[in-house]
Each structure stands twice: as structure tokens, then as C-alpha cells.
Amino acid sequence: MNGTDPSIYKKAFRETKNPAIITDSSFVIRDVNEACVDFTGYDRVELVGEKPEILFGQRSVYEEMAASLSNDDSWVGGFETTTKDGRLIYGQGSCTPIHVDGELHGYAGFFSDLTERRQYERSLRILNRVLRHNLRNDANVVLGHIEIVAEIVDDEELQQSLSTAHRRMHSIIKYAETARDLDELLSERTDPTLSPIRIDEVIRNELRAARNAYPGAEFTSDLGDEPTFVAADDAIGIALEAILSNAVEHNDSRVPRVFVRFHRGESTLTVEVEDNGPGIADDEHDLIFGREEVSPLHHGQGLDLFFVDRLMEKYGGDVWAENDDGATFSLQFRIVSPTDEDA
């Protein structure tokens, strides 16, 4: 078989399973594969000689793609396309210049249909939002009734039971709030841009809040006096709150003690949160962050630490836990300059 026979490449292109087109250097379509014909509903003769904008539902996206290719850059992005019978389809497109012996001959474009996945994600997001809303409303109603009953009951055992129910209902509301934060993080509806965050100030603020939230616990720190900036965003406070809360809520000591310190590397800063609790079983270090599936024998610790793990991944950092007379949670950040606008 002659590997340079043009008919081989033409056959491979025509039989590619994803819709694909080839244009000349003026963006005029010169060929489309069978998948593109089946997918769009247009005959090959209806597409050849036209420009690809016929397949783009958003002209602005088409212009962005054409601008990238005109600069001899490849382009990848999501866009909507309309089939011949009027169906709107969403997917991922990729286009690249075609050079032969250093000379531009045209462009190749490929499309992946993500319509069903997008519909699934939208439905799941709506369901998530409705469930969180209803959960919060119902939990607040139950809390109100618990408080009413607690005011008229004198029995000490029953008061303790009501107090436990009250704490658990507050936990349910907190789970709903964490689910919201996690949904925003994973769907990237929040601004994905990182910026220099002065981490020592954020930690001091979170320590003050933790002392108010847990008056029976002791919080101390050794952060030094040097201002330290790391690559993060506004969500970092939520992550630090989760780590500090975890150090108290899973602590079986008479007086929970939490100590926060910095470990500075050449280009990284590690925030270490040490507690005097029972520690973490060796086989659950990944489980608590949601990196492994929860089983009847091994239990995770809710959404909070899963959120922390995903957030640190977004920051280009890391988070892990170790045992040493309790548990130590370490959050590793990238150190950046306070003037670095593109952290």
C-alpha cells in the first residue's frame, strides 16, 4: 500500500466518524465527510462552495474562529450549529491550518456533538438548584418547630435530643450551601481567573470567625509578620472555613485545639492546620476528600473536603492529610507577586 496515495487520505477523511470539513485558504468549503452530511442534513453539493458560517449558529463564534485561523493559530471552542431541518445542536469544534511544504493550503475543522450531555448537565443543574432551595426551606421550617418545642419542654433528656436535632438541621443547611459552592466551582460559572490573595489576612479572618462559631475550642497560629500572596480567588475563605470546622467537629477531645502555621518553600506556601483529635485512618486519607467511592465500611466526611480538594486543584495546588497526635491538613499554594494580575 502506497502511504502517499492521495486517495487513501481522502477515504480516511470521508469515513471519519465525527463531522469534518476542509476549506481552502479563503474559508470556502472544498470537501465534507459523510458524517457531516448525515449530521447536518445538507447534501455535499449544498455545502461545497459555501463558507462554514452556514453551519455556525452564532456569527461571533465564527468570526472568533476565523480570526484565530487567519493568524495561523488553531482554534478550539464550543458553538451551536443549526441543521438543515432547523434543529439546534451544541458541541465542541476544533480547526487547524493545513500547511504543505510551508505553504498554507486551507483549513480542517472537526465537530463533536455534545447536545445530549449539555441537556443532561442543564437538567441536573436545575434539579440541584431546586433540591437545594426546597431543602433549605424545609430545614428552616423544622428548625423553627424545634425551637418552639425547646422553649416549652423542661425534660433534660428531651432538651438534649432537641439540641442534637437542632445541630443536625444546621448541618443540613450547611450541606446545601456547600453543594451550591461546589456546583458553581465545577460548572465554572464563577470567574475562573486567579489573582494574588494575601493568605495570612484571610486566615486571620477565618480564625476570628472560627473562635466565634466554636467558643469551646482553642485556635492559635504562627503566621509570621511577612505578607504572603498566593494564587487563589474569593472561594479560598470557604475552603479554610471547612478545614477549621472539620478540625473541631471531628474532634473527640474535651477541649478541641487547632493550630495553624505556614511552611514556606521556594515557590510554594503550605498552610498546615493541626488538631488534637483522633486522627484519620490510614486507608481513609483519600476517601475523606472524595477521591474514592464511599462504601458501607468506609465513610467520607461530606461535601466540604471534596470542595476543598476540587478548589485546590483549580488553584494549581494540593491538599493532603497526615496523622501526628491528631490530624494535620496541609494546603499547598503557589506563591505569586502581589502585582501579578494573571496568577
pLDDT digits (tens, 9 = 90+) for 177-195: 666 666 665 555 444 578 8
Q: Quick one: pLDDT at residue 186?
A: 58
Distance (Å, rounded) from C-alpha 30 to C-alpha 28? Answer: 6
Q: Looking at 188-315, list the stretches that DSSP marks H as alpha helix, in order from N- to C-terminal side.
A: 199-213, 236-249, 304-314
Cβ contacts of 25 within 8 Å, gap of 6 or more:
104, 105, 106, 107
Q: What share of the chain is helix, strand, coil (3-state, %, to 5)?
A: 45, 25, 30
Helix (H) or strand (E) holding 270: strand 268-275
CA-wise closest residue to 253 among 282, 228, 224, 276: 276
Phi-psi map region of 265: left, alpha, beta (phi>0 left; psi -120 to 50 alpha): beta
What is the mean pLDDT of the segment spanning 302-314? Answer: 80
pLDDT at 115 over 90: no
CB 233 within 8 A of CB 195: yes
What topology is assigned to 193-343 in CATH?
Heat Shock Protein 90 (3.30.565)
Top CATH class, 6-113: alpha beta
Distance (Å, rounded) from C-alpha 335 to C-alpha 265? Answer: 9
Q: Quick one: pLDDT at residue 292?
A: 55
The rounded mean pLDDT for the chain is 83
Distance (Å, rounded) from C-alpha 33 to C-alpha 11? Answer: 9
